[in-house]
Amino acid sequence: MAIKDMSIREIKNKLLSKGLKNKTIDEYFQEKYEILKEYEIKSAKNIANKKSRTMDNIEIRGFLMRKGYSSESIKEALN
């Protein structure tokens, strides 16, 4: 499963669609929260950099929100 530039929410949904149990995913995410949060911010920054050529910050913010990024990650990415 390729997870390049995915939000934590997108990763969780993808794992659920693959048949993993919600409880198992939640437990893992709780254990690895800091790593996942760091990954999500980096991923949001990558997307923001790519989209900055054709979109302004308001459009990028909306795009990231629709993809499931947390407001904290979006704020970090756009600063």
Asked if residues 78 and 16 have their Cβ atoms less than 8 Å apart, the reply is no
Query: What is the reported pLDDT for 34?
Result: 96
Torsion sign (Cα): 49, 56, 51, 69 = positive
Say what the pLDDT of residue 4 is.
80
Low-confidence spans in the chain with pLDDT less than 50: none
Percent of the chain past pLDDT 70, that is, above it, reads 96
**DSSP label of 67:** T
Helix 22-31 with 8-17: angle, nearest 10 deg: 150
Distance between CA 64 and CA 40 in Å, rounded? 11
Tokens of 42: 């980096």
Residue 1: what pLDDT? 53
